[in-house]
Structure 1
Amino acid sequence: MSPATGIEKFKRWLNEAKLPADGRLPPERTLAERFNLSRSQLRKILAALEVEGRIWRHVGRGTFVNKRGLPPSKPNIDDIANRTSPPEAMQARMMIEPEIARLAALHATTAQIAEMRQLSQKMRDAKTWPEYEDLDWRFHNLLAEASSNTLLKEIQYLLNGVRRAVVWGHLNNRPVGPPEDYHSFAEHDELIDNIAARNRLGAAAAMQRHLNSTASTLVNDEDRLSLA
């Protein structure tokens, strides 16, 4: 099933499904089985629908239908992803995410910082790349929420969805899961520590170092794939 077909099929189901009063969707495992999708395929569909405004997700609570309606001006994440290269996605991240980290150090709540630490630990425990990918996606969206800047949050949701499709989808021949010494583990912890300490310059610098390291890893992975 193509991503576009999967999204349209899921939208039709959302329009017809009898959901609880709070709009909570069934667990991912149930949805993946219902639509005959892998967990990774399902998460990409959910990411696209969240960017469109059809659903929203809360770490630890689940996925919910957006009952406020679909804003007509939401960008099409698939269309943007099809026209974006991995270097372009990384360039946009380097322009936006350090500022988000700086604002998160100023505005993040104690509960949001605790969620960041929980996600960081779960990433260390991830056994597969799709599992890590989903947690990493949630982590960076949570940083945007912690910035308390509505426009930056919406931009980050779009950027995060595009880079997930462009970058992670580009590296689907990697080993089973992240190694114990994967560079992002320590980098995420450093970022959280600076946010918790309300060190705005430190948080921005930590994010910049994280993105530089990620960009270097991306280039190395591309080189390995080209030789495979």
Structure 2
Amino acid sequence: MSRYAAPGLAGLKAYIAEGDFGPGDRLPPERVLTETLGMKRATLRRALDVLEQQGVIWRHVGKGTFLSEAADDALRNGKAEPAANNTVPFPGNINDIARQLSPVKMVRARLCLEPAIAREAAINASAAAVGRIEEAVRGCEEAEDWAGYEAWDDELHQAIAEATDNPLLVSLFLQVNNQRRGVANRNVVRATERPPRTHTSFVEHRTIASAIAAHDHTWAHDAMRRHIGSVSARLFGEI
């Protein structure tokens, strides 16, 4: 097993810090990173999400992942000022924002953004993007525990955002999704060790994926809106 393998974020940071990378350099593709670091792609993507929020990296859809101009400081301090033209300025500390959000406010934010993202994904998704979405749908269904399910669920929603081929929408999604996980971790208690085979989200995920694959933007928008509403009602009892 790679010495970088666990934990994922620490391993990725060590790989970058010890590698021959400078500001503006492109990191290897995800496929290469997963093999080098010895971690699953879902774990790698969650680590990359954190590094993007900290200002260590920035991502350009279709071109790759790059180190920011402030990467060295960010790796030492855990955060950095956004580099011009590379990252979207973030309004305050992300952990502070998560603590201020109620489940209802978090869901309302998702309802504003994610159905629109699904709509754009249906319009713009390539065959490869649809394949990544369908892979994540299967990953959710085959997860052996809730942690695995949540990792694949993150992968699914990020794959949908990336299918828009719009880096601004991807960046907005990543910020909202980070908040979503923070709120869920504080408020959600699981009654079982793993998702039941009849888990409602499985069917909802497949519906969303089918709509995007069919390039039916209205169906995709409405399916995502129903999915978010269903999850909210199930977890929090309200929308």
Under TM normalisation by the shorter chain, which class is it? Answer: 0.7 to 0.9
Structure 1 gaps, min length 5: 1-5, 30-38, 58-63, 223-228
Task: Within 5 Å, give how 1:63-212 maps onto structure 2.
Answer: 66-70=66-70, 71-72=82-83, 73-75=89-91, 76-212=93-229
Q: Deviations over 1:143-183 (max 9, x none)?
A: 11111233222111100111012114432444211110111
- CA distance in 2 between counterparts of 1:88 and 1:212 reads 13
Equivalences, count = 201
Mark the CA change 1:108 to 1:28 in structure 2 (over 3 Å): closer, same or farther: same
Range that drifts further, 11-20 or 154-163? 11-20
Contact 1:126 1:177 (C-alpha < 8 Å) held by counterparts: yes
Mark the CA change 1:146 to 1:49 in structure 2 (over 3 Å): closer, same or farther: same
What's the Cα RMSD here? 3.4
Structure 2 gaps, min length 5: 1-6, 71-81, 84-88
- CA distance in 2 between counterparts of 1:168 and 1:128 reads 15
Contact 1:54 1:65 (C-alpha < 8 Å) held by counterparts: no
Name the structure 2 match of 1:50: 52
- 1:79 deviates by 2.5
- 1:88 deviates by 1.3
TM-score, structure 1 normalization: 0.74
Identity of aligned residues (%): 32
- 1:218 deviates by 1.1
Mark the CA change 1:171 to 1:56 in structure 2 (over 3 Å): closer, same or farther: farther
- CA distance in 2 between counterparts of 1:23 and 1:152 reads 22
Mark the CA change 1:195 to 1:171 in structure 2 (over 3 Å): closer, same or farther: same
